[in-house]
Amino acid sequence: MSGDLLLRLELRSNPNLLSVVRGAMERLTEVFGFSPPECRSVTRAVDEALTNIIRHCYRGKFDQPIDVACNRVQRRVSGLRREGLEILLSDRGPAVDPAKLRGRRLDEIKPGGLGLHFIRQSMDTVEFKRMRGINQLRLVKYMAPRKQD
Amino acid sequence: MQIAARRADKTTIFDVTGDIDLANSPEIRKALLREIRETRTPKVVMNLTQVRYIDSSGVASLVEGLKASRDAGSRFILFGLSPAAREVLQLSRLLKIFEVYENEEQALGT
């Protein structure tokens, strides 16, 4: 954990649970204070990340473990304090090829490959790491800056 | 998610209710492709008024429907996009590619 824990979800890789997580993320982002478009962005990013885990890491198996941890984090830029929501998504699937985490170009009309693009468009930070057999995706969305108290 | 079809003249309207995500986008894709490729309906319209959320797999199903309709020489129309559905099509730069209307009257009147 890298901040104050707000919410932790342990779920199985069942696509029917995606709507449950979206519901939780919609409420959490609202309570956190994000604007409605930001709430939709963060919820979309988490949903797409989970979809990628189910499709690509677990290859459609419905009974594999996924952990979602949501933390409050802070950073300071030029004396301004910025509060953010960090979401850590962990799975025990095979190692992910970092080259496949770039997403595709959008100048071609074709189905597929949009999830990563949505994640990168929605979040301020998107980081991936593999440690001790676990894939971890770190997503952070910061709130608009406010003056230091 | 539920999908129901209304057929009249040379048009089929699919009324979709609920979120479109990985759990059900294959169902959307199957219904669309059957209507376009097998039934060869000249005008296929998606009523998304009751769809609050579409994920990338749902967008992929809509793109497949669009490509199939282009191949078949038919029309594929969307109407009633929620803010989230509109955002996702904007993010994927597809909003201008699809034929999109505000409501059913406009969609059928074209």
CA pair distance A140, B89, nearest whole angstrom: 23
A143 touches chain B (CB under 8 A): no
Q: Using CA coordinates, name the residue in chain B closest to A22.
A: B53
User: What per-residue confidence (pLDDT) applies to A77?
Assistant: 77
Do B60 and A18 count as a contact with CB atoms less than 8 A apart?
no
Answer whether residue A149 shows pLDDT above 70. no
Best residue in A114, A121, A123 to probe B by mutation, most B CBs within 10 Å?
A114
- For the four alpha carbons of B8, B97, A109 and B27, in that order, the dihedral sign comes to negative
Enumerate residue ranges in chain B where pLDDT < 50: none
Largest CA distance in chain A: 49
Mean pLDDT confidence for A138-144: 94
Note the pLDDT tens digit of each residue in A68-108.
Answer: 999 999 998 778 889 999 999 999 999 987 777 666 666 66
Residue A116 banded pLDDT, cuts 50, 70, 90: very high
Do B94 and A109 count as a contact with CB atoms less than 8 A apart?
yes
Interface predicted TM-score of the whole assembly (ipTM), two decimals? 0.89
CA pair distance A123, A109, nearest whole angstrom: 24
Q: Which of B19, B67, B97 sits opposite A19 (nearest CB)?
A: B19
User: What per-residue confidence (pLDDT) applies to B37?
Assistant: 97
Note the pLDDT tens digit of each residue in A24-38.
Answer: 999 999 999 999 999
Do A55 and B22 count as a contact with CB atoms less than 8 A apart?
yes
What residue ranges do the domains of chain B occupy? 2-108
Give the DSSP letter of residue B26: H
Which residues lie closer than 8 Å to A41 by C-beta, 6 or more apart?
A121, A122, A123, A141
Mean pLDDT confidence for A36-58: 95
Q: Which of B55, B64, B84 sits opposite A111 (nearest CB)?
A: B64
Mean pLDDT confidence for A25-53: 96
pTM of the entire predicted model: 0.91
Look up residue B36 and give its two tokens. 């376009």
Q: By CB neighbour count within 10 A (0-12 exposed, 13-18 middle, 19+ buried), where does A123 fall? A: buried
CA pair distance B42, B72, nearest whole angstrom: 8
User: B2-108 adopts what CATH topology?
Assistant: Transcription Regulator spoIIAA (3.30.750)
Report how many domains make up chain A.
Answer: 1
CA pair distance B43, B76, nearest whole angstrom: 6
Q: Which of B53, B55, B92 sits opposite A51 (nearest CB)?
A: B55
B87 touches chain A (CB under 8 A): yes
Domain of residue A141, residue span: 4-147
Provide the CATH number for the domain around residue A45: 3.30.565.10
CA pair distance A107, A95, nearest whole angstrom: 29
Of B8, B78, B2, B64, give the one whose Cα is nearest residue B36: B64
Q: Using an 8 Å Cβ cutoff, are A99 and B41 in contact?
A: no
Answer whether residue A147 shows pLDDT above 60. no
